[in-house]
Structure 1
Amino acid sequence: MSVSAAQAPPAHQVPPRRKVRLSWGVRRGPSPVLDTVTLVLAAVIVLVALVGPLFAPDVYASHIAEAAHGPSAAHWFGTDDQGRDVAWRIVVGCRDTLLSAVLVVAGYALVGTGVAVVATLGPRWLREVLMRFTDVVLAFPGMIFALAVAAALGSGLDSVMIALVATGWPMTARLLRGVLAETMTLPFVEGARTLGVSRTRLMLRHVLPNSLPVLWVKWAGDIGNTVLVIGALSFIGTGAQPPSTEWGAMVSGAKGFVSTAWWMALFPGLAIAVTTAAFGLLGDLLNVRSDPALRRRANAVGGVRA
């Protein structure tokens, strides 16, 4: 029986049917184009960092006659106040900046993993001490703590890297400790312990290798964020100092020329932004591809994009 006109809702109360368009940046499904762009961009950045400096001229030699020239065919990104080619300095700085970020992430990943493993295998009192200390470090604002450590060690890229390792390991330790504790309760671990396999052998041969993939996604995304933090610390004078080719130091050295030679600060800043976005999206991509639940959800929504 059809619904009578009296029972039907008034026309003005029926919401119009329309296509929902999400804001850009909210991923609700697979996007082959964005995934391809992300992979290509990350690969290009790594390739530039590895190969680019081999072909670069001397990026520290001054050429005062060509100082502060705008972008041209001879100098695609212009020259700085010393006549040095900004494009080549960015290429050389890609190695310094990206390598520093990778070393920082590898450093705090190693420290955090060590703390989590010791806390899992050690006695209860040691686990409590390590985890409470981890919570105390996590309670401090990361940037302020990094500034304090870098200031205590003195200005320089090495000091910034040590400071970021000191502030980055607690999150890895906390996350990995939870994953290890859960993995240690799985049936195959209990079965191996029943057969007499030691806890240390179980941890190193089975539990840890099966737990680390959970954090690979985080570490990949952290590279881009670390590039941004290193650049910020260099910009405020705590990290690398001019005439270093580290991108944050290049932006810092161009602060006095923003109104007269805008390209000196713009292009290193864009390099930081593009690298941060590329590795952030790479972490997001790896997260979707490595998590079966997210992958099934992405395939179900069928590529609706923001």
Structure 2
Amino acid sequence: MAVTSRPKATRALALSPLESFVLVLLLLLGAMVAVGPALAPDTVYTSDILNALQPPSAEHWLGTDDQGRDVFWRVVVGARATLLSALLVVTLYSMIGVAVATIAAAGPRWLDETLMRITDLGMALPGMIVALGLAAALGASLQSAIIAMSLTGWPITARILRAVIRQTSEAQFVSGAQVLGVSKWRLMTRHVLPNSLDVLIVKWAGDVSTTVLVLAGLSFIGVGAQPPSAEWGAMIAAGRSYVATAWWTVVAPGVAVAVTSIAFGLLGDIIQVRNDPSLREV
């Protein structure tokens, strides 16, 4: 009896257990961002000292913090601030990196060299330290952290994309477009750049993973989100004094940061495998 195999298209759409797990995590995070604040009680920002540092119970699933606020609902509400901030940071500096790489590739050689030397200088500087300094100079707040990271994160994106654009520019379809008389700028924006963005998409997902950690770190050291914000890094900073007696005030937001970072890191790996047939299992 002949053995039939699934069509390639069906196999490409099928999800592995790991991909299904990541999808569930991302859907859960998306639900927390979309509807979490609407479902949360009004007391997530209201102090109730009489119920401070209560352990996990049926009433408070993840206990309460030093102000008597429900930790579970603060984690849920904090997903919007943490995730949207990370997505905004990565999107902003990715746009800057794309613009720099495109202008460098489409412009004259002297402009390309100038922009790439500026990019190399930006890569040589310790990004975390520069972002920390900028955030502190702008004033401790989540908005300052977003601006600081957006201004310091673009050089790597620009350098990587410029290299990919250079490689794509050597493809046969680009040579054909040049023969037809397509202008350099139109060739770059309509043909080369769209065929170079797959690498950027993979990097974008991985960068969200890293940015969640960095934003939480900036809030933890006091230059990011400030109390009484439910941002996860700020929650960890507020609960660090009670680790020995009320571990849940730190563990709950810490696990949320770790799970979110892992989910987006795995998403980047999955997208890369899906886009590169050589990495797939036969």
TM-score w.r.t. the length of structure 2 is 0.92
Distance 1:190 1:290 in 2: 24
Partner of 2:121: 136
Partner of 1:272: 257
Partner of 1:292: 277
1:206 to 160, 176, 191: 191
Larger of the two Rg values belongs to structure: 1
2:164 to 151, 175, 179: 179
Moved segments of 4+, more than 3 Å: none
The Cα offsets for residues 134-175 of structure 1, whole Å up to 9 and x where unpaired, read as 001101122112112212212111111111112210111001
Partner of 2:25: 41
1:52 aligns with 2:36: yes
Partner of 1:116: 101
Distance 2:15 2:103 in 1: 41
Amino acid of the structure 2 residue aligned with 1:224: S
Do the aligned residues in 2 keep the contact of 1:89 with 1:245 (CA within 8 Å)? yes
Distance 2:31 2:206 in 1: 18
How do 1:31-110 and structure 2 match up within 5 A? Answer: 32-58=16-42, 59-110=44-95
Amino acid of the structure 1 residue aligned with 2:175: E
TM-score w.r.t. the length of structure 1 is 0.85
Amino acid of the structure 1 residue aligned with 2:254: G
Do the aligned residues in 2 keep the contact of 1:242 with 1:252 (CA within 8 Å)? no
Amino acid of the structure 2 residue aligned with 1:94: A
CA apart distance, 1:31: 9.0
The Cα offsets for residues 219-258 of structure 1, whole Å up to 9 and x where unpaired, read as 0111111101100111011111111110000000112211
How do 1:195-274 and structure 2 match up within 5 A? Answer: 195-274=180-259
CA RMSD of aligned residues (A): 1.4
Do the aligned residues in 2 keep the contact of 1:243 with 1:253 (CA within 8 Å)? no
Distance 2:108 2:186 in 1: 17
Distance 1:52 1:95 in 2: 8
Seq. identity, %: 59
Q: Residue 89 of structure 2 aligns to a residue in which SS?
A: helix
The number of residue pairs the alignment matches comes to 268
Distance 2:54 2:48 in 1: 11
Partner of 1:152: 137
Partner of 1:15: none
Unaligned ranges ≥5, structure 2: 1-13
Distance 1:178 1:222 in 2: 18
Distance 1:273 1:39 in 2: 16
CA apart distance, 1:215: 1.3
Do the aligned residues in 2 keep the contact of 1:68 with 1:81 (CA within 8 Å)? yes
Distance 1:159 1:166 in 2: 11
CA apart distance, 1:109: 0.5
